[in-house]
Amino acid sequence: MASVVITGHSLTLQQVVEVARHGGLVDMDGQVRQRLAATRAGLERRLAAGEAIYGVNTGFGRLADVRIPDDDLGQLQLNLLRSHACGVGEPFSPDVVRAMLLLRANVLATGFAGVRPEVVDALLALLNAGVHPVVPSVGSVGASGDLAPLAHLALVLVGEGEATYRGERLAAEEALRRAGLAALKLAPKEGLALINGTQAMCAVAALALADAERLLEAADVVAALSVDALQGTDTAFLEEIHAARPHPGQRASARTLWKLLQGSELREAHRECPQVQDAYSLRCTPQVHGAARDAATHLHSRLEIEFNAATDNPMVLADDRVVSGGNFHGAGVAAAFDYLAVALTAVASISERRSARLVTPEQSGLPPFLVEASGLNSGFMMAQVTAAALVSECKTLAHPASVDSIPTSAGREDHVSMGTWAARKLARVVEYLRIVLGIELLLAAQGIDLRRPLRSSPVLEQVHAAFRRTVPRLERDRALYPDIAAAAKWVGGLSNLVADVAQATGEVRAPGRS
């Protein structure tokens, strides 16, 4: 397991995935501890001077004008966590919760929240011990950040709420006891510092993006198999075409498709055929896949800025000033979540169109629904219908959430980002895309089988052979839901397979994120 040291300014998407999904351990840089102690001392000087500071010795939101007695400041922070833990719905998965813990710790490590180093220590202790707060997925409007999800996360630190530990859902107090951890006693401002920010939406989106980047690599490989099975041409992927319209993602996708198809007997067998142009779903693949690659690159950069940004309110500055602002508002990333969801929906849509061509004999030149003795057998008829259903759902999910807003907190919080819903919709689109590409892979592999004895390119033949070790050829009707599930799971690792093949054969450079 890789170890990650948080500094407040250097966390990457790769590190988030390592910690969230592979159990990576996390520590805090020594300079961060000094930074936190310094800003905490500045905040305490302000409090000792009797200054009114929002959320520290005042109420919250509409209650910001209510002054809280000094003796009640710790209780104020505990009450905040309790009152804001209003989430509903299915809990976030453990990997999302782990990402939330890491991101919240790193944001506090920037030093603008005014918390003691012990607060970051407590978050990292939960993470490293595998104590995962139960965080309902619904209830955030994305400003003042992810208040409800982060309140559920923070409650476990103080021994309240629920957590899972070694696969068992427990009261937080018991989970901490079993892990050998002590509950944290909050000091002034620390409850507020734990819940202001975008860490729930960013955790969901980060893991969705990591999956999307792999699927976009796989999408080119699946499309190349379809092009060969449909006897399409590689001419549309020539470098000269795409150099004339040099969007980075488009050029990367076209380059991959071109190299994957070189050496194909299927291509050579119809090089002199009278067909002038392929359908858009074949020859426009780099344009559609490339647009999604560029959207993923954009979100990647936005997220890595947000991972290392101070999203607290109020912020404690280096000169001890305590100032209110709006860095907790999710607009900076919410629009990018929507952008990628739209672009990935187009990838799913063009994939389904290639699948539809594969099962249509007038367009493919293959047996109806890709099965011999069709009529008696329905073959992949309904597999394409499933892909169509998923694409239709993606189109609805692609409606942007970030253009919506609804006022909350008695009108004080009168414009919100809906970023958490945008992230959750993005994650759903990514999952549906995985299945749609898996269905296309099923159909394309069957199409390659039906073109025998002609063979595809050496690289694509190795991909085909590896897939056939997971899902056998369809000779006659069988229940296809296990095949679809297996193909959807397999396609997520397809880019790694092509990388291995490329290294072994030198036939093609492995596709990579643009």
Three-state DSSP at 349 gives helix
CA distance 105 to 203: 12
Q: How many CA atoms lie within 13 A of 215 on its CB side?
A: 30
Pair of tokens at residue 236: 């549309």
CA distance 361 to 71: 79
- Three-state SS across 57-91? CECCHHHCCCECCHHHHHHHHHHHHHHHCCCEEEE
Examine the residue annotation and report whether 54 is marked as an active-site residue of this protein: yes
Residues β-bridged to residue 323: 315
Give the residue from 216, 147, 125 showing the smallest Cα distance to 419.
Answer: 147
> Quick check: 513 and 297 in contact, CB under 8 A?
yes
CA distance 387 to 380: 11
The DSSP-derived string for 419-481 is HHHHHHHHHHHHHHHHHHHHHHHHHHHHHHHHTTTS---HHHHHHHHHHHTTS---SS----H
Among candidate residues 54, 165, 339, 432, the one labeled active-site is: 54
CA distance 426 to 313: 27
Give the residue from 463, 511, 460 showing the smallest Cα distance to 261.
Answer: 460
CA distance 232 to 226: 8
Q: Which residue has the tokens 């690599």?
A: 217
Pair of tokens at residue 442: 């099923």
> Quick check: 229 and 451 in contact, CB under 8 A?
yes
Show Cβ contacts of residue 396 under 8 Å, excluding neighbours closer than 6 positions: none
**Rounded to 5 degrees, what angle do the CA atoms 251, 256, 257 make?**
100
What residue type is 55 in one-letter code?
A: G
Q: What is the DSSP letter of 510?
A: P
Residue 258 to residues 232, 263, 285, Cα–Cα distance (Å): 12, 10, 11
Give the residue from 182, 176, 291, 270 showing the smallest Cα distance to 228.
Answer: 270
Pair of tokens at residue 470: 């997971």
Could you give the strand order of the β-sheet that contains 131-133, starting from the edge strand earlier in sequence? 131-133, 162-165, 168-171
DSSP element (H, E) containing 48: helix 30-48
Give the residue from 401, 404, 295 showing the smallest Cα distance to 346.
Answer: 295
The DSSP-derived string for 106-145 is HHHTTS-S---HHHHHHHHHHHHHTEEE--EEE---SSSB
Residue numbers annotated as active site: 54
